[in-house]
């Protein structure tokens, strides 16, 4: 059965970098990587709200990934109020030992990381999107390390313990 690695967190918390490094570790033949921003903003040009077509597309891609890949990584802000029900339902496609993470990084660090982007967001934008304690469940593993390398080490250690 396929396993899901779900990485959620606020904008500029390091989700994409972490997910890319995980896929590089596992290899593209073994691992499907889904980026919420690419699917929602670049493919669908959709807003992030209840009823967004991105919810159904991500659910369909998770089901596809579960059928065709041993590992599926989904990363994004994936707000609980918008995506929570779908993510809970989609978890049925995956092994019970799938891993769910929430990057719990301070706003100040996300602001600094944001400024390194090619097209950084404004501080007002980041503040308006900021969600405090948006974990899906109490079982989400909080990643609080300030470096991607440390968070990657944590996930790979968890992976080894569950496989």
Q: Are the CB atoms for 117 and 37 separated by under 8 Å?
A: no
pLDDT value for 163: 84
Name 103's Cβ contacts closer than 8 Å, sequence gap at least 6. Answer: 7, 8, 9, 10, 13, 14, 15, 18, 143, 151
Angle subtended at Cα 33 by Cα 154 and Cα 37, rounded to the nearest 5 degrees: 100
What pLDDT sits at residue 96? 86
Residues 6+ apart with CB under 8 A from 12: 110, 111, 113, 114, 117, 121, 126
Q: Give every residue of the chain whose pLDDT is below 50, as ranges.
A: none
**What does the pLDDT read at residue 89?**
93
Per-residue confidence (pLDDT) for residue 66, from 0 to 100: 96
How far, rounded to the nearest angstrom, does the alpha carbon of residue 70 sit from its chain's CA centroid? 17
- In tens, the pLDDT along 24-41 reads 999 999 999 999 999 999
Residue 17 has what pLDDT? 95
Q: What is the DSSP letter of 77?
A: -
Instruction: Give percent above pLDDT 90 in the chain.
Output: 90
**Sheet containing 3-9, strands listed edge to edge, beginning at the edge strand earlier in sequence:** 31-35, 71-76, 3-9, 99-103, 141-143
* CA angle in degrees (0–180, nearest 5) for 42-142-56: 35
pTM recorded for the entire structure: 0.95
Look at domain 3-162 and name its CATH class: alpha beta
Burial of 67 (0-12, 13-18, 19+ CB in 10 A): exposed
Res 95: pLDDT: 87
pLDDT of residue 53: 96
Domain parsing of the chain, residue ranges: 3-162
What's the confidence (pLDDT) of residue 102? 96
Q: Looking at residue 121, what DSSP letter applies?
A: P
């Amino acid at each position: 059965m396929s396993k899901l690695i779900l990485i959620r967190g606020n904008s500029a918390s390091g989700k994409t970098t972490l997910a890319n490094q995980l896929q590089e570790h596992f290899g593209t033949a073994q691992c499907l990587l889904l980026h919420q921003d690419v699917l929602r903003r670049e493919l669908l040009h959709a807003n992030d709200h209840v009823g967004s077509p991105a919810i159904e597309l991500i659910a369909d891609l998770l089901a596809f990934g579960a059928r065709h890949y041993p590992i599926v990584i989904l990363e994004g802000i994936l707000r609980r109020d918008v995506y929570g029900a779908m993510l809970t339902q989609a978890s049925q496609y995956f092994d019970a030992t799938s891993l769910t993470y929430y990057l719990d990084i301070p706003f100040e660090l996300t602001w600094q990381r944001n400024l390194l982007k090619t097209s950084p967001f404004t501080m007002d934008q980041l503040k308006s999107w900021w969600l405090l304690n948006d974990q899906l469940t109490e079982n989400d593993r909080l990643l609080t390390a300030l470096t991607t390398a440390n968070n990657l080490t944590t996930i790979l250690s968890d992976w080894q313990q569950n496989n």
